[in-house]
Structure 1
């Protein structure tokens, strides 16, 4: 690989190098994207052991596809892998015949998405209490809204990528995101009112 720093090489170039027999290129791709891919899986399955299994299966599929010369996602490695992972999650739930339940994990700060007004100390305390219940609130969103919310704000995917992965139009993905945020705002407002009235 000459003296070029592997971390400065694009995903596409790493894919090309791996296809041509350079194993460390795949290790770098996994290192680069493991957190986002694993977390996207975990948020859907809510089980760390199962998420690890699906993550491993995802990369077995990635390796097999690359080695078979069937990769043609020019410059879109991460969305492609997340799409594979998403399909494996769906396959898993089909096998166990139950719907996926999505919640968030520590560190996923939805409040970066939902902008708050200038707040007084009282409002700040209420917001912090609301934050404690946020995972519970997200649990109440319809699954399509949870999915788009997580892919957009944790997986850092564009709405185009989300529409490709979920098989819906960009407008539908945008609509689901808008509904998810509106529903969360309503639930949080209800929660704040009940806290103020107690």
Structure 2
């Protein structure tokens, strides 16, 4: 297992194609938080996000097993594109779009793993998380989506642009507006955060 964890995405896919089921498990473990988060931010429902996550990987497995996976592309953006399309398909079937949820609609921080820390710093981080979460929820959906993909999923603007089907400049603009709006809200609420 340790040997597999050091392999590239392409090497893991080849291992899986050659019969090593652990290759896929390592890939899923490597990216599950980012992929789940990309789904959850759109559907805002924990159980629905889990269902779509599973459907996404069924499609990924079928595509890889039938030899239709293109090794030239990056694995993570490819899977997130599949997940994005699954979300769109879900809402088309439901004949409605995703609803805008603010306040306690979802907690992106519950999906992310943090290192162990002492009680005082955990309390401080938890309060910052709660405050920041509330502010992020107040952003327009297009800005919120880019901000979460960039800062919480660590995606490039090129990948964000492809997934959201906009130009890189539009993705950059949405990020700029999101950060500007967050800074203004933080100032209005006399809060202290650091943005890179």
TM-score range, shorter chain: 0.7 to 0.9
Partner of 2:59: 61
Greater Rg over alpha carbons, structure: 1
Shift of 1:43: 2.4
Instruction: Measure the CA separation in 2 of the matches of 1:6 and 1:133.
Output: 39
Q: Secondary structure at the match of 2:148?
A: helix
Partner of 1:98: 97
Question: Residues 11 and 75 of structure 1 are in contact (CA less than 8 Å); yes or no, is this contact kept in structure 2?
Answer: no
Instruction: Measure the CA separation in 1 of the matches of 2:111 and 2:33.
Output: 13
Shift in alpha-carbon separation, 1:107–1:27, aligned structure 2, 3 A: closer
Q: Secondary structure at the match of 2:108?
A: coil
Structure 1: any 5+ residue segments left out of the alignment? 110-124, 194-198
Instruction: Measure the CA separation in 1 of the matches of 2:181 and 2:188.
Output: 11
Instruction: Measure the CA separation in 1 of the matches of 2:135 and 2:71.
Output: 36
Q: How does 1:106-145 map to 2 (within 5 A)?
A: 106=109, 132-145=130-143
Structure 2: any 5+ residue segments left out of the alignment? 113-123, 192-196
Shift in alpha-carbon separation, 1:9–1:135, aligned structure 2, 3 A: same
Question: Residues 40 and 155 of structure 1 are in contact (CA less than 8 Å); yes or no, is this contact kept in structure 2?
Answer: yes
Shift of 1:131: 5.6
CA deviation string 1:33-74 (max 9, x = no partner): 112211222222222211110110000010111112111142
Partner of 1:196: none
Partner of 2:39: 41
Partner of 1:118: none
Figure out how many residues of one structure are paired with residues of the other and give that number: 175
